[in-house]
């Protein structure tokens, strides 16, 4: 019954709304009928028709009022009012296109910056995994005593134990991250690969886009013929989306493999910000390393493990069951399993990987705050403009009030305009955001598979809508309230506002200027810090000389060379390359600084017993040939370099860096000391030299220990040839490639680039450059907004005081006095703004301390430069209107009404 009535009522109201004319006509007809009846009555009583009509009208009462009351009773007025307000608002905006354009652009910049940054953040922090029930997915991270969480992986036997014994998970799955060479149709490229456990796809619940995925039954028996799953975008990029790839045979490194399927489009693997190219089963790990070591060695830890919670199981229950398993394993295998616990973390909190001190969250938060500042500045600008327009429309508001508009009605009308502006600005802003994201999506780095998939999803749209509404309503409310409070009498009887303010009171004006200066200062300081940090980082001492070095990475294993043949190849190619014109020297290494993932070894010092329960420290190292140190200009501080006589038959030797010497043998001479990379029993290597420190993994890292071992004593197939040239290194790239092709037909070159190019990459300055660029863009937008805003406020304030200035000039003030009057006021406010901005910037910069390198977050140079720059620009913005004020002709000013 209730619903029937509601339906009826809704139908009625809709009709009143959309068929207004028809409904009005019906009302007219109804009343006309009634009047005719009354008129006929009077005629019947004997009156003349015209008098009868008048009598009827008298009896009826006010016809127009009746109709109006009927319309009121129809209760859809608020909607009609809204439509009316919007129409009027559009007309008003069209009347002043310049102001409208400025406001829309300002809001578009603010909303655009926020939307694009939020959508990136959403893409890698907030968006759930594209699998069923993503909240059940957890990361299993190893927590060592004294080491950051997640710095170690699982070994295969351990992984199996957890999979079998942790009963609160419906599936425990894992992967190993690596890179391989994929060859198909004579094209070869380097791919990022996940070696996954058999139940990886089934536990995640992923369905293939093409073909099929790896089954639980296959994939963990060693020596099975490898199957390959392609990532969707890799499939598009590399194979042009050809559906015929299923079943195609390809070469992975030098082994034959078959493509069996393609992963779905939205699935990027378990790392939200990185993108895998292909998936291989763990059984294919034998491509990488001796199978026996991987499958059986409890200490060979390369697996990253995840688990899917059973439905209804809480994280705490899962953690307890993991602890039980850990305790059991610790007692069963005290040698390897005693020193850690396993923590279960929700997948969302461990993005992109489970690692303590996750600076991604800090960076995201920081840039969201900076973008919010830009929006704030835009809103302040808009606020000023609306206040100015509001005060100009006070007469109109007064007249409307006199005609019977209530206060709420007036406010609604002005709000409709500001929301309309906000919607226009917001739409433009979303468009800007989408364009900006298309630019970031296209960022594709060679050495790290970054993907910033930031498509618009509902979260981003809601965020944009909320931003727009905030801008429209909050910003428009004050001017609306102020304008609607106009006292009808005063406004109608006086002319345009005489008092220096009207609704645009000094307090608000001052606040606007101070806030804009402060906000802009914060943005500029952030930008300045990032830019200075980039400069510093680019000037860092890397421990080697990167200029004029060409890196050529290759792997003879890929064309089936065995160890002896590989050694011969490298020897020959070095000789030939050294003989090329323009080449100064050449050396080989297994790892390139800042080039990716270096090898680590557990260092056990000879003669030092291990403390129970403690793991030996892990140190990075590189396998190099005798020519390396000289080629890379790494300075040898003490001792000697490797020579050709340090070969397989000779005693094992090592060269360490200064930090390693200081850390492991403080106050002693490290030369002659020995340590082992394989446990306390040896074999031991002897230190024969000490090099200066340098940067090894990332350009912003702290000093860390590092050592070099000879390639002759540590065979590695994949090596990088560093070529130091006298000419620009790019110019000999082709020649070197030819030489290699001549030496070894068909040898795929994994990578060829200059050292400088590498340093622009992900482990080099890329992050710093990106942050500096983004912050500089935001800072510039902020500066422009602040300058325009301050100019607008001061200009308007000065124009309000035209009469006063005229009077002063008539009374004898000269140009300088007027200038001081207008300008000094601005100066004081700007100084306040700078002071407040400095404080706010300093506070915000504290959050940045892990994101900058080489400078402190209270770097005085940055703060001073920014403060001076901003002051000069803003004071100029104050000075121009002040200067204009002095040119007021007193006669004109006094007559100006």
Partner 1 sequence: MSKPADLVQGTLDLLLLKILALEPMNGYAISQRLKQVSQDVLQVSDGSLYPALHKLEQEGWITAEWKATENNRRAKFYSLTRMGRKHLEKEAGNWARLSAAISRVVKLNEV
Binding site for partner 1 (CB under 8 A): 1, 5-6, 8-9, 12-13, 26-27, 29-31, 33-34, 37-38, 59-63, 65-67, 69-70, 72-75
Q: Which of 577, 573, 551 is nearest to 561 (CA)?
A: 573
In whole angstroms, the minimum distance from the beta carbon of 78 to partner 1 comes to 14
Distance (Å, rounded) from C-alpha 381 to C-alpha 517? 12
- Between CA 639 and CA 772 the distance in angstroms is 42
Residue whose CB is less far from partner 1, 33 or 562: 33
Closest listed residue to residue 577, CA positions, set 719, 724, 717: 724
Least distance between partner 1 and beta carbon 56 (Å): 9
- Minimal distance, residue 68 CB to partner 1, in Å: 9
In whole angstroms, what is the distance from residue 118 CA to residue 125 CA?
10
Distance (Å, whole) CA 400 – CA 398: 5
Q: How far is the CB of 7 from partner 1 (least distance, A)?
A: 10
What's the closest the beta carbon of residue 1 comes to partner 1, in angstroms? 7
Q: How far is the CB of 69 from partner 1 (least distance, A)?
A: 4
Choose between 73 and 649: whose C-beta lies nearer to partner 1.
Answer: 73
Min CB(71)–partner 1 separation in Å: 8
Number of C-beta neighbours around residue 835 at 10 A? 15
We find the least distance from the C-beta atom of residue 26 to partner 1, in angstroms, to be 7
Q: Name the residue nearer to partner 1 (CB basis): 2 or 609.
A: 2
Our CB check for partner 1 shows the closer of 13 and 536 to be: 13
Which of residues 30 and 614 has its CB atom nearest to partner 1 in the complex?
30
For 641, 644, 825, the CA distances from 590, given in Å and listed in that order, are 17, 17, 66
Task: State the minimum distance, in angstroms, from the CB of residue 406 to partner 1.
Answer: 20
Nearest distance in Å: CB 50, partner 1: 20
Q: What separation in angstroms does the CA of 434 have from each of 113, 263, 551, 778?
A: 10, 26, 37, 16
CA atoms in the 13 A half-sphere facing the CB of 687: 27
Closest to partner 1 by CB, 37 or 828 = 37
Full DSSP string of 488-514: HHHHHHS-S--SS-TTS-HHHHHHHHH
User: In angstroms, what is the minimal distance from the CB of 76 to partner 1?
Assistant: 9
C-alpha distances in angstroms, 178 versus 282, 357, 588, 729, 758? Answer: 12, 24, 22, 29, 19
**Distance between alpha carbon 69 and the CA centroid of its chain, in Å?**
57
Q: In this complex, which beta carbon is closest to partner 1, that of residue 59 or of residue 644?
A: 59
Chain center to CA of 537: 21
* Cβ proximity to partner 1, 37 vs 316, nearer residue: 37
First to last CA, the chain: 65
Contacts of 531 (CB under 8 A, 6+ apart): 772, 775, 776
Coil, strand or helix: which one is 764? coil
Q: Phi first, then psi: what are they for 179, rounded to 5°? A: -135, 145
Cis amide linkage into residue 726, ω under 30° from 0: no
Least distance in angstroms from the C-beta of 30 to partner 1: 5
CA angle 368, 373, 378 (to 5 degrees): 125
Q: Are residues 173 and 214 in contact, defined by beta-carbon separation less than 8 angstroms? A: no
Closer residue to partner 1 (CB): 77 or 359? 77
Residues 719/588, Cβ–Cβ less than 8 Å: yes
Q: What is the dihedral sign for C-alpha 862, 867, 873, 877?
A: positive
CA dihedral 884, 885, 890, 895 (to 10 degrees): 100
In 3D space, the residue among 657, 755, 774 whose CA is nearest the CA of residue 699 turns out to be 755
Please give the distance of CA 433 from its chain centroid, rounded to a whole number: 13
Nearer to partner 1, 26 or 547 (CB): 26
Smallest separation (angstroms) from partner 1 to the CB of 13: 7
Between 59 and 648, CB nearer to partner 1: 59
Closest to partner 1 by CB, 7 or 361: 7
CB 66, min distance to partner 1, A: 4
Kindly give, in sequence order, each residue whose CB lies less than 8 Å from that of residue 210, ignoring residues fewer than 6 positions away.
235, 243, 245, 246, 261, 262
495-507: b (≥16 Cβ within 10 Å) or e: eebeebbbbbeee
Q: How far is the CB of 72 from partner 1 (least distance, A)?
A: 7
- Shortest Å distance, C-beta 37 to partner 1: 4
Nearer to partner 1, 75 or 850 (CB): 75
User: Where do we find the tokens 């059984």?
Assistant: 283
What is the rounded distance in angstroms from the CA atom of residue 17 to the CA atom of residue 76? 7
Residue 151 has which token pair?
Answer: 């710095």
Is the separation of the CB atoms in 85 and 416 below 8 Å? yes
Select 41 or 735, whichever has its Cβ closest to partner 1: 41
Count of alpha carbons within 13 angstroms of residue 116, beta-carbon side: 27
Q: How many CB atoms lie within 10 A of CB 102?
A: 16
What angle, 0 to 180 degrees and rounded to 10, lies between the N-to-C axes of helices 766-800 and 359-392?
Answer: 20
Minimal distance in Å, beta carbon 394 to partner 1?
35
Place of tokens 């929700």: 346
Helices (H), 197-245: 200-204, 232-239
ω into 284 cis (within 30 of 0): no
Quote the least distance from Cβ 47 to partner 1, whole Å: 18
| Cβ neighbours of 604 (radius 10 Å) | 20
Rank residues 69 and 221 by Cβ distance to partner 1 and give the closer one: 69
**Residue number, 1 or 811, with CB nearest to partner 1:** 1
Q: Which is nearer to partner 1, 1 or 649 (CB)?
A: 1
Toward partner 1, which CB reaches closer, 75 or 438?
75
């Amino acid at each position: 019954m209730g619903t029937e009535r509601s339906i009826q009522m809704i139908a009625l109201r809709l009709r009143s709304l959309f068929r207004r004319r028809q409904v009005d006509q019906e009302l007219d007809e109804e009343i006309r009928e009634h009047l005719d009846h009354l008129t006929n009555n009077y005629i019947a009583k004997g009156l003349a028709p015209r008098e009868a009509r008048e009598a009827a009208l008298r009896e009826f009462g006010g016809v127009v009022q009746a109709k109006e009351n009927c319309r009121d009773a129809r209760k859809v007025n608020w909607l009609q009012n809204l439509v009316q307000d919007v129409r009027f608002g559009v007309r008003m905006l069209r009347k002043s296109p310049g102001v409208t354009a400025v406001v829309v652009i300002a809001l578009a910049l603010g909303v655009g910056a926020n939307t694009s940054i939020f959508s990136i953040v959403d893409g890698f922090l907030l968006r759930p995994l594209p699998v069923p029930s993503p909240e059940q997915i957890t990361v299993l991270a190893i927590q060592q005593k004294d080491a950051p969480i997640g710095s170690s992986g699982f070994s295969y036997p351990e992984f199996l134990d957890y999979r079998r014994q942790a009963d609160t998970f419906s599936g425990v799955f894992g992967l190993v991250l690596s890179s391989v060479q994929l060859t198909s149709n004579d094209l070869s490229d380097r791919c990022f690969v996940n070696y996954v456990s058999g139940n990886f796809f089934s536990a995640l619940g992923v369905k293939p886009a093409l073909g099929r995925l790896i089954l639980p039954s296959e994939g963990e028996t060693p020596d099975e013929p490898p199957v390959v799953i392609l990532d969707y975008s890799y499939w598009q990029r590399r194979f042009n989306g050809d559906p015929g790839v299923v079943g195609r045979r390809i070469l992975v490194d030098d082994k034959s493999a078959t493509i069996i399927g393609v992963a779905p489009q939205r699935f990027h693997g378990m790392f939200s910000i990185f993108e895998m190219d292909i998936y291989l089963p763990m059984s294919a790990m034998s491509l990488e390393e001796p199978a026996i070591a991987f499958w059986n060695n409890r200490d060979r830890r390369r697996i990253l493990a995840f688990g899917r919670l059973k439905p209804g199981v809480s994280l705490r229950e899962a953690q307890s069951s993991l602890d039980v398993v850990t305790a059991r394993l610790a007692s069963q295998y005290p040698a390897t399993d005693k020193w850690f616990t396993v923590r279960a973390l929700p997948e969302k909190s461990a993005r992109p990987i489970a690692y303590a001190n996750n600076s991604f969250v800090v960076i995201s938060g920081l840039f969201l705050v900076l973008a919010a500042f830009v929006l704030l500045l835009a809103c302040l600008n808009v606020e000023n403009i609306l206040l100015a327009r509001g005060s100009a429309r006070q007469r109109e508001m007064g007249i409307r009030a006199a005609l019977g508009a209530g206060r709420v009605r007036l406010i609604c009308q002005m709000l409709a305009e500001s929301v309309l502006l906000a919607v226009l600005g917001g739409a433009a802003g979303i468009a800007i955001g989408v364009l900006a994201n298309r630019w970031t999506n296209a960022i594709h780095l060679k050495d790290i598979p970054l993907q910033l998939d930031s498509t618009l999803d509902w979260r981003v749209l809601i965020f944009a809508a909320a931003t727009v509404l905030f801008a429209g309503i909050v910003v428009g409310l004050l001017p609306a309230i102020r304008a609607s409070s106009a006292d009808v009498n005063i406004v109608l009887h006086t002319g345009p506002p005489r008092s220096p303010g009207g609704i645009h009171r000094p307090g608000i004006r001052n606040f606007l200027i101070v806030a804009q200066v402060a906000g802009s200062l914060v943005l500029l300081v952030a930008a300045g810090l990032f830019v200075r940090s980039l400069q510093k980082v680019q000037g860092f001492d890397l421990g080697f000389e990167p200029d004029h070095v060409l890196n050529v990475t290759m792997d003879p294993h890929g064309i089936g060379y065995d160890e002896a043949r590989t050694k011969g190849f490298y020897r020959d190619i070095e000789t030939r390359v050294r003989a090329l014109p323009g080449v100064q020297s050449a050396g080989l290494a297994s790892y390139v600084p800042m080039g990716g993932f270096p090898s680590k070894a557990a260092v056990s010092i000879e003669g030092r017993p291990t403390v129970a329960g403690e793991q030996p420290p892990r140190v990075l190292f590189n396998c190099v040939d005798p020519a390396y140190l000289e080629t890379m200009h790494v300075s040898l501080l003490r001792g000697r370099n490797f020579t050709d006589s340090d070969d397989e038959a000779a005693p094992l030797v090592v060269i360490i860096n200064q930090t390693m010497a200081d850390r492991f043998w403080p106050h002693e001479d490290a030369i002659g000391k020995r340590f082992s990379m394989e446990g306390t029993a040896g074999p031991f290597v002897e230190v024969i030299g000490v090099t200066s420190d340098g940067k090894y993994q990332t350009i912003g890292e702290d000093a860390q220990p590092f050592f070099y071992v000879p390639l002759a004593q540590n065979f590695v197939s994949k090596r990088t040839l560093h070529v130091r040239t006298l000419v620009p290194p790019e110019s000999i790239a082709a020649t070197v490639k030819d030489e290699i092709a001549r030496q070894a037909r068909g040898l795929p070159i994994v990578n060829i680039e200059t050292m400088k190019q590498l340093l622009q990459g992900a482990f080099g300055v890329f992050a710093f450059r990106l942050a500096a660029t983004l912050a500089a863009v935001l800072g510039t937008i902020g500066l422009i907004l602040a300058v325009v805003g301050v100019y607008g406020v001061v200009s308007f304030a000065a124009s309000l005081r035209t009469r006063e200035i005229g009077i002063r000039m008539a009374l004898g003030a000269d140009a300088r006095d007027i200038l001081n009057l207008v300008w000094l006021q601005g100066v004081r406010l700007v100084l306040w703004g700078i002071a407040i901005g400095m404080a706010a910037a300093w506070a915000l910069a504290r959050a940045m301390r892990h994101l900058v390198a080489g400078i402190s977050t209270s770097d005085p140079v940055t703060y001073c430069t920014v403060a001076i720059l901003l002051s000069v620009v803003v004071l100029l913005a104050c000075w121009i209107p002040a200067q204009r004020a002095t040119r007021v002709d007193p006669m004109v000013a006094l007559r100006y009404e």
